[in-house]
Amino acid sequence: MRKNVIYLLARQLCTDAIRSKVMGIASILMVFLLSFSVYSGWENYHDQNNTRDAIQGEVQESWENNPDKHPHRMAHYGSFAIRIKHILSVFDLGMENFVGNAVFLEAHKQNTVNFSEASMSTGLLRFGEVSLAMLLKVIVPLLIFYLGFATIARERENGTLKLLIGQGITRREIVFGKWLGLWSLSLLFLFTVFIVLLFFVVIESHDVMQAESPFRYSILLVSYILFFGILSAITILVSAFSKTAKGALVKLLGIWLLFVIIVPKSLQAIGYYLYPTPSKIEMETAVEHDLIKQGDSHNPDDPHFKAIKDSVLLANNVEKVADLPFNYGGFIMAKGEALSTKVYLEHQEKLYDVYSKQNNLERYSAFVNPYTAIKNLSTALSGTDFKSFLHFKGKAEAYRFKLAQEMNRLQMDLIPNKGKAGPNTISRDYWKKFPPFEYNFLSTTKVFKNEIISILALFLWGVLGVLGLLRLSTNLKAI
């Protein structure tokens, strides 16, 4: 293949497209949507994170300002864990507005993450938000299909294709020239969006929590470049194998509907049908049932905990709780906390397994739908996917358990048993020593591991796209 011929054909396609009225209207629309997305995305990120930072600070201040009191009362006083937004959420909102932002952390109980944006908004939010990623995943693919549907089909209708071949230009040069030109057009929109996004990434790069943002940004950029290359190849192939330009346009619109709307929505519904999740009431009832079977650490006559008490007295060679060298109440609360946490985690793992089966149905569809692959990669790298939410929830639960057990340890070490003289409270200085909740985003390495299916699917589509173009270049019909 002659590179200069390929570049010439690509440049000609770009020039014709840029001069067309369609490109002008599309550019105006994209500028408007881009401006709105940038403004709303940055305002939401900035305001939400400032508010959440302030609330987390107030929570810690409130915790530290508690007076001297019994440690178990502090365990029930509890704390809050607030979820911070990733800077790349400016780009892709993902599930950001549909999952909670704050969870109350208290002893003996795991609470749900509450205060999602969707729960405090109108039903219009469910139609989707205008974001930078939405432009690249939904609007630009439609433009690629519209700008490229006639690249080969119309030239065949007009007889131009036969003329080009007659002048000595090979079929392979025509196919790859058209593909390169269409891909280059799509990259104009892509680079415009990512240049704007780079500005936000640089602004927040000083934040330790956002340290991996430049790397994530780079992977996102490469992924979308590949995605647009795949869409451009599909457009050229459909145009080449269609008898008329009108037929190519209808086919490409059908493909867009299948990729973006029909397949994802259908698989979500099928996933819920095949793997139904329990309601909140059913979940809480099942947890409560298992907790009752484990026993009640607050009930001194509970058979399970009475057996523990007898074994502790025997091990320490004493007859009464008051003679133990540590506070028995703190010890038994620690045991009860460990048992209840185990029950909660077991039920959560079962629930997450159901969610995983539901999501995997769509995840594996990336091998037949490149939109699914880029959607999953985009949300994962932006920190707005379901896995990122579960990571926050897991960190919050670990902090809750650590807090509860630390209060139990303080009770064991510093509070005397009933029947012995001594203070029933400890100094407030202990509250200040307990570290505040801090959250670090899911590592990029872990994101890659979670999205290995999407990565493989996107590369496979890229390979198939190139192979399809090579195959087309040997079978392209001029008439």
88 within 8 A of 213, measured Cβ to Cβ: yes
Distance spanning both ends of the chain, measured CA to CA: 22
Alpha carbons 385 and 362: distance in angstroms, whole number: 14
Tally the residues of the chain.
479
Q: Output the pTM of the full model.
A: 0.91
> What digits encode the pLDDT tens for the residues 66-125?
999 999 999 999 999 999 999 999 999 988 888 888 999 998 888 888 877 655 555 444
Helices (H), 205-298: 213-240, 245-257, 263-274, 280-294
Range of 194's domain?
Answer: 3-475
The tokens describing 444, both together, are 């990029």
Written as six digits, the tokens of 419 are 């029947």
Residue 218 in this model has a pLDDT that exceeds 90: yes
Q: Which of 66, 109, 107, 62 is nearest to 425 (CA)?
A: 66
3-state secondary structure of 106: strand
> 105 forms bridges with which residues in the sheet?
79, 110
Nearest to 85 by CA among 61, 117, 37: 117
Q: Count of domains in the chain?
A: 1
3-57: pLDDT as tens digits? 888 888 888 888 888 888 888 888 899 899 999 999 988 998 999 899 999 999 9
Rounded Cα gap, residues 249 and 17, in angstroms = 16
Q: For 118-150, how does the pLDDT look when each residue is reduced to its tens digit (9 = 90+)? A: 555 554 444 457 899 999 999 999 999 999 998
